[in-house]
Amino acid sequence: MSAVSSCPGRIFVTIRRKKSAVLGVTLVTAVVFLCLQYNVGKDAVDEDAKIQPVYDERTSESRSFASESKPVQFISNHFQQPQSLQRQSQQQVYVGTSRKQLYVPPQRIVHFDLKGAPPKVSYLKQVFTLIKQLGATGVLLEWEDMFPWTGPIKELAAGNAYSKDDVKEILTSAKDNDLQVIPLIQTFGHMEFALKYNTFSHLREVPESSQALCPSLNDSLVLVEHMIQQILAIHGSVTYLHVGCDEVFQMGECPRCRPKIREDLFLSHVSNVARLVKKISPHTIPLIWDDMLRHVPAATLSMYKMNTLVEPMCSHLSHRYDHFATLCELLPAAIPSLAINTLATSRGFFNSTLTEPLLSALECSLMPPSSVPILTDPFLWDTLGRCQFPGHGFFLFLQRFNSLQREIADFTNQIDKKRSWLTTYNVRHNFSSPLRVDELLLDHPRLYHSSISMLHSAIDNLQSVYDNFTVAEWIEQNIWPLIEKLDKIQSDGANLKQRKVWQRRPFPILKELERFGLGKGDFSSNHLTVNRPLS
């Protein structure tokens, strides 16, 4: 049988004779298929677009309760391999990965750590308005030594603490912005602001450290009760009172506490503090940080009825690591980060669709950017440099200061490490080339005057936010060391240039090195070789 007479053969011949028609049908079919695919995708996009990115209290609360039936895990903030993500995603709901599975917590609280650096009341009022616009529902006010303590604990108030009228004005502003106020006082660890004084030093768990209270002393609870009473007297009837209890580094070390189990010491003290709160304000719920509970067995927590006494919160860092630490961040510099985090928490996601509400809240009306490139502009100096949010002057100042810091670091590195005429060794032995010293100091006048100008600019931008004590502290930590370094370089260079004749080598061995066995050295013939000309 020939190929043409077979069925496949006849089909092949037909296609060859009518190939134009076949190609046309194929093309039409492909177009129809693409249109169908486009409509399916468009429907999905339209359906996704119906999900509102803005949630009011009712919708966010209902979604948060609905999500409680599933475990929630936030995405790690680093890149991972696809297979790793696939393994982790099984039986887990990741926040923000799907617009159809958004999680918006009903309570979105902003923590203000006020210890040792109180923002002015006028500035806090501006920030309260901003965070409310971005979706915050409340503020956590950590007062520490900035509260106007009175009576037997008046010593706890710093010299620049808020007055009672200041506190009332802050609370009124929070209420005007419909922000729930949660006061925070430390009642176990981080008690340096009280235990540093001789009056309360006998309450320390460890005599050498003012970090933690001894939970076995009755007077410890007397101090805590005074604080709770005074806080609640001004704040009134609050739903929550945060009593700290995080990072209790010294526990179970004094003679009274040593025989007891650490977990029992901690939970017993927390129970006593919680009961004090309930005694003074029966409808107030005590909150504590969660870090000290993470490794306590569930059975032990149940024995102390922790679930009925307190509610835990995840702990995080503050603008001071503790009472004795220097400032690690300032509020006006953190406003863009605070805005992004508050907005993302309030909407359940963060992407380009939130650029407009973010820029609107930060008052970026003058040449607003089209996006917020967090990865390529991590400090957002370029993106938000023209915005007018509260404290924007200091935020922009930090970009210039960062650049000056790098310039001075490079300048001092050249002098200390890379160039050989103005090092510590040259200065110690007063031995260098005046011509080379002049070359090294060419950039000094410009950098010095820039530093002085930067100091004045810091004062101008910070005085609307903080009192002079806080402004001076930040300058002393950040700008003044640069000026001192430049002053010393100038002085060392001037001294080196005064010398016109120099001693012969080698120089005397540094006295501090003698204890390492180098000895004083000598110039005897055994140690020096004189090169004589060849005869």
Strand order in the sheet with 285-289: 109-113, 138-142, 180-184, 240-242, 285-289, 311-313
CA atoms of 239 and 507, how far apart (whole Å): 73
For 309, other C-beta atoms within 10 Å of its C-beta total 19
**3-state SS class at 276:** helix
Three-class secondary structure of residue 138 per DSSP: strand
CA distance 411 to 404: 10
263 a catalytic residue: no
Output the CA–CA distances (angstroms, integers) from residue 396 to 381, 385, 393, 455, 468, in the order listed: 7, 6, 5, 14, 20
Q: What are phi and psi of 283, to 5 degrees?
A: -95, 5
Q: Rounded to an integer, what distance in angstroms lies between the CA atom of residue 337 and that of residue 342?
A: 8
Alpha-carbon distances, residue 382 vs 54, 371, 372, 379, 395 (angstroms) = 27, 11, 10, 8, 11
| Phi, psi for 110 (deg, rounded to 5) | -100, 125
Of residues 140, 137, 191, the one with CA closest to residue 170:
140
**Beta strands 209-213 and 204-206, pairing class:** antiparallel
Of 61, 155, 225, 247, the active-site residue reads 247
C-alpha distances in angstroms, 341 versus 30, 107, 109, 136, 278?
46, 14, 11, 10, 33
| Signed CA dihedral, 524, 525, 529, 533: sign only | positive
Which are the catalytic amino acids? 247
